[in-house]
Structure 1
Amino acid sequence: MTPETRPGRGTELVGAMLERRYRVDSVIARGGMSVVYRGLDTRLDRPVALKVMDSHYSANPSFVERFELEARSAARLHHPAVVAVYDQGVDREIDGDHVYLVMQLVEGCTLREVLLEQGVLSLPMAVSVLRPMLSALAAAHHAGMVHRDIKPENVLVGLDGSVQVADFGLVRATATAGSTTGNVILGTVAYLSPEQVTTGDADARTDVYSAGVVLYELLTGRPPFGGDTALSVAYQHVNADVPPPSEVTPELPPAIDDLVLRATRRDPAGRPADAAAFLHELERISTELGLRPVPVPVPVSEQRTEMVSTDAGGPPTERIAPITEASVPEATAPYDHGGPQGTRAMPRPAADEETTHEIAAVRPSPAELHEQERKRGGRRFALWTLAILVIAGLLGGTAWWMGSGRYIQVPRVTGETEEVASQVLRGADLTPEITRQLDDDVPAGTVISSSPKQGSRILSGQSVELVVSSGRPKVPDIAAGTSVDDAQQALRAASLQPERDTSADQYDSSIPEGAVISVDPGPGTELAISSQVRLIVSKGPPPVPVPDVTGASKDEAFAALSAAGFEPYESGRQFDSNVEADHVITTDPAANTVVELSGKPRVGVVLSNAVTVPDLNGKGTDQAQQELAALGLGLEVHSFFQRPDAMIIGQLPLPGSKVEPGSTVGVTAL
Structure 2
Amino acid sequence: MPQPGEDLRGYVIERTLGRGGSATVFLARRPGDPAPVALKVLNPDQRNPEARHRLERAFVLTGQIDHPHVVSEYELGPDWIAMQYVDGGNVTALTETADRLAALAQIADALDHAHRLGIVHCDVKPANILVHQDFSKGGAVLIDFGVAHVLAEDMARRLARDGGHRLSLDPARRITRQAAAPPTTVLASLPYAAPELLLGRMPSGSTDQYSLACTAVELLTGTPPFTAETADQLVDAHLHEPPPRFAPRIPGLPHAFDTVVATALMKEPDARHDSCTELVELLQRVLR
TM-score range, shorter chain: 0.7 to 0.9
**Which has a greater percent of helix?**
2
Q: Could you tell me the TM-score, scaled by structure 1's length?
A: 0.35
Deviations along 1:567-590, one digit per CA (max 9) or x if unpaired, are xxxxxxxxxxxxxxxxxxxxxxxx
Q: Deviations over 1:608-657 (max 9, x none)?
A: xxxxxxxxxxxxxxxxxxxxxxxxxxxxxxxxxxxxxxxxxxxxxxxxxx
How does 1:288-367 map onto structure 2 within 5 Å?
291=288
Structure 1 residues 196 and 160: CA distance shift in structure 2, 3 A: same
CA distance, structure 1, for counterparts of residue 284 and residue 142 of structure 2: 25
Query: TM-score, length-normalised on structure 2?
Result: 0.76
Aligned length: 254
Q: Which of 17, 32, 38 lines up with 2:7 in the alignment?
A: 17
**What is the CA–CA distance in structure 1 between the aligned matches of 2:141 and 2:249, rounded to whole Å?**
27
- Deviation of 1:236 (Å): 0.7
Q: Would the alpha carbon gap of residues 146 and 13 (structure 1) be closer, same or farther in structure 2, given more than 3 Å must change? A: farther
Instruction: Tell me the distance in 2 between the aligned counterparts of 1:197 and 1:83.
Output: 26
Q: Which amino acid aligns with 1:204?
A: G
Pair 1:199-2:179 in alignment: no
Relative to structure 1, is the Cα distance of residues 29 and 282 closer, same or farther in structure 2, using a 3 angstrom cutoff? closer
1:146 is aligned to 2:135: no
- Which residue of 1 is the match for residue 39 of structure 2? 50
Residue 30 (structure 2) pairs with residue 41 (structure 1): yes
- State the alpha-carbon separation in 2 of the partners of residues 247 and 194 from structure 1: 26
Check 1:77–1:43 CA distance in 2 against 1; reply closer, same or farther (3 A cut): farther
Question: SS of 2:89's equivalent?
Answer: strand
Q: Following the alignment from structure 2 to structure 1, what is the Cα–Cα distance between the partners of residues 72 and 248?
A: 38
Q: How many Å apart are 1:262 and its aligned residue? A: 1.0
Deviation at 1:27, TM superposition (A): 1.6
1:165 alignment counterpart: 141
Name the residue aligned to 2:105: 131
Aligned to 1:282: 280
Residues 75, 86 of structure 1: 8 Å contact kept: no
Report what 1:102 is aligned to: 82
SS in structure 2 opposite 1:50?
strand
Aligned 8 A contact 1:108 1:156 in 2: yes
Greater strand content: 1
Cα pair 1:16 1:23 within 8 Å, conserved: yes
User: Given residue 104 of structure 2, which amino acid in structure 1 is its aligned partner?
Assistant: L
1:249-260 aligned at under 5 Å gives the runs: 249-260=250-261
Supply the distance in 2 between the matched residues of 1:290 and 1:280 (Cα, whole angstroms): 14
Partner secondary structure for residue 103 of structure 2: helix
TM superposition shift of 1:212: 0.6
Following superposition, the deviation at residue 80 of structure 1 comes to 2.1
Structure 1 contact 83–164 (Cα < 8 Å) conserved: no
- Equivalent position SS for 2:105: helix
Contact 2:107 2:142 in 1 (8 A): no
Residue identity matched to 1:243: P
Give the Cα separation in 2 of the matches to 1:135 and 1:195.
22
Structure 2 gap ranges (5+): 150-179
| Superposed counterparts of 1:155-554, under 5 Å | 155-161=129-135, 162-172=138-148, 186-199=187-200, 201-273=202-274, 277-283=275-281, 286=284, 291=288
- Of the three residues 77, 90, 108, the one matched with 1:89 is 77
1:142 Cα deviation from its structure 2 partner? 2.2
**Larger relative CO (CA 8 A, sep 6+): 1 or 2?**
2
Give the counterpart letter for 1:251 in structure 2.
Answer: G
1:214 Cα deviation after fit: 1.3
Q: Structure 1's 205 and 290: CA in aligned 2 closer, same or farther, altered over 3 A?
A: closer
> How big is the shift at 1:266?
1.0
AA aligned to 1:189 is L
Q: After TM superposition, give the deviation of residue 197 of structure 1 in Å.
A: 1.7
Deviation at 1:101, TM superposition (A): 1.1
In the TM superposition, residue 284 of structure 1 has moved relative to its aligned partner by: 5.7
How many Å separate the matches in 2 of 1:200 and 1:52? 31
Deviations 1:72-117 (A, max 9, x none): 2213333222222122122xxxxxxxx2111111111222344xxx
Task: Provide the C-alpha distance between the structure 2 equivalents of 1:172 and 1:57, rounded to a whole number of angstroms.
Answer: 19
Q: Read off the aligned partner of 1:81 and give its amino acid letter.
A: H
Q: What is the DSSP-based 3-state SS (H/G/I as helix, E as strand, rest coil) of the residue aligned with 1:258?
A: helix
- Of residues 10, 17, 21, the one that matches 1:28 is 17
Q: Distance in 1 between matches of 2:11 and 2:45?
A: 22
* Kept in 2: contact 1:82–1:165 (CA 8 A): yes
Q: Which amino acid aligns with 1:34?
A: A
Amino acid at match of 2:5: G
One-letter amino acid matched to 2:114:
A
- Give the aligned partner of residue 170 of structure 2: none
Secondary structure of the 1:171 match is: coil
1:225, 1:236 within 8 Å by CA — same for their partners in 2? yes
User: How far apart are residue 233 of structure 1 and its match?
Assistant: 1.4
What secondary structure is seen at the aligned counterpart in 2 of 1:68? helix
Query: 1:101 is paired with a residue of what secondary structure?
Result: strand
Q: Distance in 2 between matches of 1:281 and 1:25?
A: 40
Q: In 2, Cα distance between the equivalents of 1:89 and 1:144?
A: 26
Which of the numbers 92, 97, 116 marks the counterpart of 1:112? 92
Does structure 2 retain, via aligned residues, the 8 Å contact 1:244–1:260? no
Distance 2:273 2:124 in 1: 16
- Residue 30 of structure 1, CA deviation: 0.9
**Structure 2 contact 70–142 (Cα < 8 Å) conserved:** yes
Structure of higher CA gyration radius:
1
Q: 8 Å contact 1:30–1:36 — kept in the other structure?
A: yes
User: What secondary structure sits across from 2:87 in the alignment?
Assistant: strand
Residue 163 of structure 2 is matched in structure 1 by none
Q: CA RMSD in A?
A: 2.9
Instruction: Give the 3 Å change call, closer, same or farther, for CA 282–228 of structure 1 in structure 2.
Output: closer
Is contact 1:86–1:103 with CA below 8 Å preserved after alignment? yes
Determine the C-alpha separation between the residues in 2 that align with 1:186 and 1:216. Answer: 21
